[in-house]
DNA sequence: ACCCATAGTTCGGAACTTCGGAACTAACGG
DNA sequence: CCGTTAGTTCCGAAGTTCCGAACTATGGGT
């Protein structure tokens, strides 16, 4: 099995980050990895919101996040642990991730999933 | 001709903004509109960098930016004037656009077109 | 040592998106 | 009215994404 390629932080491109986080599922996965003490196994994210994500799609989502430079994945026995690269990315593109994560967070609050004030 | 639909600022979604700006051409167009006194005709942007953009692609890029809520387009005689909606978007998603535009700006500086320090 | 279960990856085809040339429409000037 | 300029629409080719099925890798149990 191939040894999980990660770009150097200098090679990380803004368009790759935006493309990766333009998908709400991936943005939610990334937010979860950051909040969950910066480590998360792939299988810990089997659904986003109420939507179940198939394994193959999930594998691809992690790959996109990894190759965008947003997470670092290490095989640890049978599972893969994912660390956010927040600090590196923050040093290279200050304010970018905070702006994006806050935007999704404030958007989630603004339209509830069910009816809220009928 | 259809009267150019613009979403209300409450209906603007983060994923649409990220998707719109994940394309470097569109990000450059948007940055240009903001810097150019917040008004810019479509035809003023015939190329991005050294790459010529066909009219139909350009028309589509403006449509994507418009429908993401990033710009406001008004027909003015034979041409269309585009205003950035920076302030509205900033009020809804603070720091988002600044983070993105800065990321692209700092990325442009970091990799010179020719070799620089051999 | 072997097999099984678990965790993730790869393959491949259907559905969707993007790109761009050609043809089109709309407004204005002469 | 015709020509020009500015932008839109159409449509086919090329590319991307999604997800089920088949596959590989690792570790535990017996």
| Confidence label for A40 from pLDDT (cuts 50, 70 and 90) | confident
> Which chain B residues have a beta carbon less than 8 Å from that of A24?
15
The structural architecture, per CATH, of the domain A14-106 is Orthogonal Bundle (1.10)
B40 closest-nt by C1' vs CA = D6
The domain segmentation of chain B, as residue ranges, is 13-105
pLDDT, residue B1, reads 64
The sign of the torsion formed by the CA atoms of B10, B14, B15, B18 equals positive
Min Cα–Cα distance to chain A from B80, Å: 27
Please tell us whether the domain made up of B13-105 is placed in CATH 3.40.50.620: no
What stretch of H or E contains A97?
Answer: helix A96-110
d(CA A38, CA B47): 42
The terminus-to-terminus CA distance of chain B in angstroms comes to: 55
> Which chain B residues have a beta carbon less than 8 Å from that of A104?
14
Are A106 and B93 an interchain contact pair (Cβ–Cβ within 8 Å)? Answer: yes
Express each pLDDT in B25-82 by its tens digit: 999 999 999 988 667 787 787 788 888 999 999 999 999 999 999 999 999 888 899 9
Give the number of other Cβ atoms within 10 Å of residue B26's Cβ.
21
> Which chain B residues have a beta carbon less than 8 Å from that of A107?
13-14, 93
- The count of residues in chain B is 118
* Mean predicted confidence (pLDDT) in A6-22: 97
For residue B98, give the nearest of A13, A95, A97 by CB distance.
A95
d(CA A107, CA B52): 36
Express each pLDDT in A25-36 by its tens digit: 999 999 999 988
| Confidence label for A24 from pLDDT (cuts 50, 70 and 90) | very high
Strand boundaries in B19-113, DSSP class E: 40-41, 47-48, 51-52, 71-76, 79-84
**CB neighbour class for A84 (10 Å; exposed up to 12, middle 13-18, buried from 19):** buried
Min Cα–Cα distance to chain A from B47, Å: 19
């Amino acid at each position: 099995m191939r040894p999980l390629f990660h770009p150097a932080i200098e090679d990380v491109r803004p368009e790759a980050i935006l493309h990766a986080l333009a998908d709400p599922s991936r943005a939610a996965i990334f937010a979860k990895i950051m909040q969950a003490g910066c480590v998360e196994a792939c299988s810990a994210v089997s659904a986003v919101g109420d939507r179940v994500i198939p394994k193959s799609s999930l594998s691809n989502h992690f790959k996109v996040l990894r190759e965008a430079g947003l997470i670092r994945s290490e095989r640890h026995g049978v599972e893969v642990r994912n660390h956010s690269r927040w600090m590196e990315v923050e040093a290279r593109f200050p304010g970018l991730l905070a702006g994006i994560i806050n935007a999704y967070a404030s958007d989630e609050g603004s339209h509830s999933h069910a009816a809220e004030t009928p």
